[in-house]
């Protein structure tokens, strides 16, 4: 089809013009009938957002994706280009992708009147039929719709009332395309008002010059929920003109979150070859995001993006990789202690409420990590809280599987795990703790040597999270001690920003 070069050849081919919404509807129907996924790579939306979006597209609606940050709203919009025809014909030289069979601009109409069937046409690929604008307070009507170009008027010796002196904005230039405005509430109310007639009737008004230009655009808007943002809101008449409002959401399960992170994380092959990361550590990273979304210290109105776990996953791999490079190790694994290195990924991805600001970002990040360890620990080992009700200190080993471990620390022993310790040396240190290896073998008989060592370390972090032993991060190491002794020595399980140096992460 794209070998056709003139309007006459296009007419002879039997080509039929369709609006972009009809085009998407037809191609979506084909995909649904063929049992194809119209939005590949979008995980967790299979029974919610994707069906809603398909219904909206079948209805030929403009769409508003309403949800918190990091919920794949823009990605959904970008993938809609795959529902477009691979190529469409346009009048050659047209600034607004004029349909040769249904021209709307003065340029295209005059060109067809002059050349008739010899009017040259070109073919536009679907990848070029997408426009996007991030709404910011400085966006103007001229940016979106257009303005009068005095230089063009002077060169062509035309009055400002002539359509040919207009400089089109990004929306007219997205004719026959998908156009996305991200963070719509950030757009000033007067700018939002300028979109009314475009959505409803296709009228443009530029500096008092009213132009009937029936644009063929699929509009997709994204926004945080109105009540959740203090930067602005969507004006009601505009919201009323957007036919479908679709609510997005965060992953509802750890498994979905795991799949998203693994899909999106940017890990080099050389990192994958050198560093192994267990399912346990992956789940701890994902759990941090789940804890943050329910934390009283984190602003729920801002949300906790899926980018948190993606960045944390990458940092965890890099923490282990750095240690392996320092120790000249060809292969290593991500230890629980390496998760100290994901703290910068957490602090940069969460907005805190007043109480959280008082705690400090590093303290909140550590608290979230501790909560994640606590939540996951009970899925791998007996819940210490249940044992506490049975008076843990006096219980028999059968009733209290942690008795040997806590007794070892109560006897004045302590364990220091440095961040840059070699894997073999760390494993030997863990074996010094009485009952630690036996506990792991009792509940995870099939674990290999490396998994045993990781689980042994995890037990210490878990017992600390349940306040059975003390843990403190200081000067590039983690100290495990008995809880009572640490309290008597004015020790603490909490961390302040002063306990942490940037060198701990480098």
The residues, any chain, with a CB within 8 Å of residue 16's CB and separated by 6 or more, are none
**CA–CA dist 180, 144 (Å, integer):** 11
Residue % of the chain over a pLDDT of 90: 72
Tokens of 131: 């426009």
Q: How many CB atoms lie within 10 A of CB 80?
A: 23
The CATH number that domain 7-138+174-202+215-247 falls under is 3.40.50.300
Looking at residue 137, what is its pLDDT?
A: 83
pLDDT digits (tens, 9 = 90+) for 365-396: 999 999 999 999 999 999 998 876 655 445 55
Tokens of 474: 């200081």
Report the chain's C-alpha Rg in angstroms. Answer: 30
pLDDT digits (tens, 9 = 90+) for 58-111: 999 999 999 998 999 999 999 999 999 999 999 999 999 999 999 988 889 999
Q: Phi, psi (5° rounding) for residue 159?
A: -80, 160
Let me know: does 433 contact 406? Beta carbons within 8 Å.
Answer: no
Helices (H), 131-188: 141-144, 150-156
Q: How many CB atoms lie within 10 A of CB 212?
A: 10
The residues, any chain, with a CB within 8 Å of residue 336's CB and separated by 6 or more, are 281, 284, 373, 454, 457, 458, 461
The CATH number that domain 254-504 falls under is 1.10.8.80
- The SS3 assignment for 305 reads coil
pLDDT digits (tens, 9 = 90+) for 460-494: 999 999 999 999 998 889 999 998 765 555 444 44
- The SS3 assignment for 90 reads strand
Let me know: does 394 contact 402? Beta carbons within 8 Å.
Answer: no
**CA–CA dist 479, 416 (Å, integer):** 5
Looking at residue 406, what is its pLDDT?
A: 94
Instruction: Find, among 302, 301, 145, 133, the residue nearest to 221 by Cα.
Output: 133
Q: Phi, psi (5° rounding) for residue 504?
A: -65, -25
**CA–CA dist 451, 454 (Å, integer):** 5
Let me know: does 98 contact 111? Beta carbons within 8 Å.
Answer: no
Instruction: Find, among 57, 356, 72, 104, the residue nearest to 214 by Cα.
Output: 104
Average pLDDT over residues 399-425: 93
H or E element that contains 218: strand 217-223
Looking at residue 214, what is its pLDDT?
A: 84
Question: Where exactly are the structural domains of the chain?
Answer: 7-138+174-202+215-247, 254-504
Please name the residue that has the structure tokens 């008004």: 205
**CA–CA dist 399, 310 (Å, integer):** 40
**CA–CA dist 334, 284 (Å, integer):** 12
Residue % of the chain over a pLDDT of 70: 86
Instruction: Find, among 129, 93, 97, 121, the residue nearest to 15 by Cα.
Output: 121
**CA–CA dist 64, 135 (Å, integer):** 14
- The SS3 assignment for 149 reads coil
DSSP 356-407: HHHH-HHHHHHHHHHHHHHHHHHHHS--HHHHHTT-GGGS-TTT-TTHHHHH
Looking at residue 364, what is its pLDDT?
A: 96
pLDDT digits (tens, 9 = 90+) for 298-339: 998 888 999 999 999 999 999 999 999 999 999 999 999 999
Q: Do domains 7-138+174-202+215-247 and 254-504 have the same CATH topology?
A: no
Looking at residue 197, what is its pLDDT?
A: 76
Burial (CB < 10 A; 0-12, 13-18, 19+), residue 336, is buried
Burial 27-52 (b: 16+ CB within 10 A, else e): bbeeeeeeeeebbeebbbbeeebbeb
Let me know: does 3 contact 9? Beta carbons within 8 Å.
Answer: no
pLDDT digits (tens, 9 = 90+) for 138-195: 888 888 887 767 666 666 666 656 666 777 889 989 999 999 999 998 888 888 888 8
Looking at residue 160, what is its pLDDT?
A: 57
397 pLDDT higher than 60: no
């Amino acid at each position: 089809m794209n070998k056709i070069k003139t309007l006459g050849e296009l007419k002879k081919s039997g080509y039929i013009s369709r609006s972009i919404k009809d085009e998407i509807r037809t191609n979506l129907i084909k995909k649904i009938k063929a049992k194809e996924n119209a939005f590949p790579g979008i995980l967790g939306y299979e029974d919610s957002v994707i069906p809603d979006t398909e219904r909206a597209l079948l209805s030929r609606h403009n769409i508003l994706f309403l949800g918190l940050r990091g919920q794949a709203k823009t990605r959904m919009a970008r993938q809609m280009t795959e529902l477009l025809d691979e190529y469409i014909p346009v009048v050659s030289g047209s600034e607004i992708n004029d349909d040769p069979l249904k021209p709307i601009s003065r340029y295209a109409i005059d060109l067809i009147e002059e050349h008739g069937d010899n009017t040259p046409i070109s073919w536009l690929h679907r990848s070029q039929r997408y426009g996007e604008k991030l709404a910011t307070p400085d966006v103007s009507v001229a940016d979106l719709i257009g303005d009068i170009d005095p230089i063009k008027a002077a060169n062509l010796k035309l009055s400002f009332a002539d359509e040919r002196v207009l400089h089109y904005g990004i929306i007219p230039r997205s004719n026959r395309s998908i156009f996305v405005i991200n963070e719509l509430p950030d757009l000033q109310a007067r700018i939002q008002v300028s979109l009314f007639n475009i959505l409803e009737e296709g009228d443009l008004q530029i500096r008092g010059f009213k132009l009937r230009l029936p644009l063929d655009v699929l509009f997709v808007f994204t926004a945080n929920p109105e009540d959740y943002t203090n930067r602005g809101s969507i004006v009601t008449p505009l919201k009323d003109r957007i036919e479908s409002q679709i609510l997005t959401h965060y992953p509802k399960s750890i498994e979905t979150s795991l799949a998203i992170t693994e899909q999106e994380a940017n890990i080099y092959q050389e990192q994958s070859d050198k560093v192994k990361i267990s399912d346990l550590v992956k789940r701890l990273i994902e759990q941090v995001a789940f804890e943050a979304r329910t934390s009283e210290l984190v602003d729920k109105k801002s949300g906790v993006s899926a980018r948190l776990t993606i960045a944390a996953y990458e940092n965890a791999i890099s923490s282990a990789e750095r240690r392996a490079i320092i120790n000249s190790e060809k292969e290593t694994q991500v230890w629980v202690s390496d998760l100290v290195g994901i703290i910068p990924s957490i602090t940069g991805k969460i907005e805190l409420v007043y109480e959280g600001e008082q705690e400090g970002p590093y303290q909140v990040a550590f608290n979230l990590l501790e909560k994640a360890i606590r939540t996951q620990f009970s899925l791998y080992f007996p819940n210490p809280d249940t044992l506490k009700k049975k008076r843990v200190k006096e219980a028999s080993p059968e009733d209290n599987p942690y008795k040997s471990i806590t007794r070892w620390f109560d006897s004045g022993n302590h364990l220091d795990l440095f961040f840059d310790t070699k894997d073999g040396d760390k494993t030997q240190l863990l074996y010094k703790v009485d009952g630690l290896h036996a506990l792991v073998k009792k509940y995870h008989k099939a674990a290999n040597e490396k998994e045993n060592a990781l689980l042994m370390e995890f037990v210490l972090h878990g017992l600390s999270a349940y306040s059975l032993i003390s843990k403190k991060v200081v000067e590039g190491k983690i100290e495990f001690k008995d809880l009572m002794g640490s309290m008597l020595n004015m020790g603490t399980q909490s961390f302040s920003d002063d306990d942490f140096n940037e060198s701990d992460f480098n």
